[in-house]
Amino acid sequence: MSAPLPTRTQELRALWKLALPIAIAQAGQSMMSFVDTAVVSRVGNEALSAVGMATSVYFAVSSFAMGLMMGMDPLVSQALGAGNPRRARSVLWQGSYLAVIAGTVLAIPMVVVPRLLPALGVDFVELPQLRDYLDWRAPSLPLSLLFLSTRSYLQAASITRPLVVATVVANVFNLGADILFVFGGEGLPAWCGPLRWVPAMGVKGSAIATLLCCVLQWVIIAWAVRHVPVPGGVPSRRPVLADMLQALRVGLPIGLHIAAEVGVFSLAGLMARWISPESMGAHQIAISYGSLTFTAAVGIGNAGSVRVGWAVGARNTPQARLSGMMAFASGAGFMSLCALMFALFPLPLANLMGAPAEVIPLLVPLLMVCAVFQISDGVQGVGAGVLRGAGETRFTFIANMVGHYLVGLPVALLLGFWLKLGVVGIWWGLCAGLTAVALALFWRFERQSAGTFQPLEA
């Protein structure tokens, strides 16, 4: 007989015990781009616009590879749920090889694509700075994917302290390095020594700081994995093609769904730039805030993915349903609080980021729209996680394609350009797409969990 189900309160406590450190680690990834934006916005609107476009390109390209790494989540958690830690460690090694290969291959377009834009008729004044940023940010992609694959293993094993330590250390370093490399060390006191010789590098300096942080945080959690015991002995470290292909089969739909989601936000950024540099600056700051709060939903979704994966691996569908539903409730509840923050304090939040005066009149209404779609964003972020834990990834991709491209994008074009609502209209389109996706994912999990989940390696 299976163990009795925990109460909802017990499940919530267990979920949040896992979700909180994961959310902190997830927030650390977005915090780097958030700090980049906050520091560079003090340079001027042209630099802010350049970072906005560069970030759009980076995440449009990298999101697919990040999704591939998330294919490890159900494989690791279900292996541990089935009582097979040796298999879980083997999946980590294969995921690490996959991270290096995918990260290296996909870093190349990030360097090449900006150099092709003039041939396509794109002649924005920010292009040189955009190229500088991506030249130094692209090498961080393999490191970011290694961090994700290692994080999947640690969170599935409920070893979350190294994730928090790596995140805090890397982000403290990033803030100092960002300020130093962007503005230079000339004004530092004499006791800072050689740091005073660092030249002001502007946008490029921001990317270099983030690259160094990616090295630092991966080293910290890789060291932590070395100290995790594996009952039965550590498995072979050699590449196994069959295992990498299995991870690809699970991760490919996740990569496509994340690429679809990030892609529509990147398109929104490019559409905002076609309207004006000020619209692009407002979009970049608003999306930085929205991405930061979304990391909490992703953290809850990742915790839900782990708990659902454990239950599916143990062939306990009622437990999987309870874990998923509590994750949905937690995501919606937390994002409701974030919505209140955006709705009540849009101007202080704009000033906190150092938004240029010409950007603020556009930024404030964008933060109000951001408040409206917080709950939808949270539900769809959690939904992707809990379905991933159950090994259900194809539907999430389909839901994102339909919601964002058949609902959200047409509404954005209609409101933003045809009805001339500008960047605010574009964001209402994003809101419509997120809501459609959220409803679809909740419906899918509710329907699937009413039956019986089967492990991926049954």
Per residue in 250-301, pLDDT tens?
Answer: 888 888 888 888 788 878 888 888 888 888 888 888 888 888 888 888 889 9
Give the mean model confidence (pLDDT) for residues 319-346. Answer: 93
255: tokens are: 């990569």
Q: Which residues of 335-359 are buried (b: 16+ CB within 10 A; e: fewer)?
A: beebbebbeeebeebbeebbbbeeb
Rounded-to-integer distance, Cα 224 and Cα 95, Å: 17
Q: What is the largest CA-CA distance in the chain?
A: 70
Question: Residue ranges of the alpha helices (H) in 82-126?
Answer: 85-116
Interval 386-392 mean pLDDT? 87
Q: What pLDDT score does 390 carry?
A: 87
Task: Check whether 421 has a pLDDT greater than 50.
Answer: yes
CA distance 75 to 79: 6
pTM: 0.75
Exposure b/e, 25-40, CB count within 10 A at least 16 = b: bbbbbbbbbbbbbbbb
Residue with the two structure tokens 């995918």:
102
Alpha carbons 250 and 387: distance in angstroms, whole number: 12
Among the ranges given (120-129, 249-258, 304-313), the one the predictor scored with the smallest mean pLDDT: 120-129
**Runs of H (alpha helix) within 353-402:** 360-372, 374-389, 394-400
Confidence of residue 333 (pLDDT cuts 50, 70, 90): very high
Residue 253 and residue 25: Cα distance in Å, rounded?
24
- pLDDT at residue 6, as a whole number: 83
